[in-house]
Amino acid sequence: MTQLHALALTLGIEGVIGGLLVRTWWALRGATLLRAIVVIVAASLLTHPLAWTANRQWLGSLPFPIRAAIIELTVTLVEATILALALGRATGMQPSWWRCATVSLCMNAASFGYGLWRLS
């Protein structure tokens, strides 16, 4: 799988999962929901290249389970922080960091799980 292909899958999966969770938990609709989805996709665009590089180069010598845990935990925490900061500005609400962390965890678990399934 190429990095571009992985990025496209990540954006699609995480955009849908994150959008559904944001819509459900915060009852966002219309332009506000669209802004929230843009924030979600932007967070994934920022973290995906770093995760890809970490997996291929920086942490390549570690066993896969350890490498995956480090990368996914880091990405989840970074994206949760981005969501907590940027969703407030984009939507005018003040989201809980813990709720943003849950959204990030669900998004990343879905895309990581799909990647594992696709490679098996």
Residues 6+ away with beta carbon under 8 Å from 25? 99, 103
| Phi, psi dihedrals of residue 60, rounded to the nearest 5° | -60, -25
Please indicate whether residue 66 or residue 89 has the higher confidence score (pLDDT).
66
pLDDT bracket for residue 11 (50, 70, 90): very high
pLDDT of res. 108:
97
Distance CA 75, CA 101 (A): 11
Q: Taking the domains of the chain in order of start, what are their residue ranges?
A: 3-119
pLDDT of res. 37:
94
**Tens digit of pLDDT for each residue in 28-64?**
888 889 999 999 999 999 999 999 999 999 888 999 9
> For 97-117, what is the mean pLDDT?
95
Task: Kindly tell me if the per-residue pLDDT of 21 is higher than 90.
Answer: yes
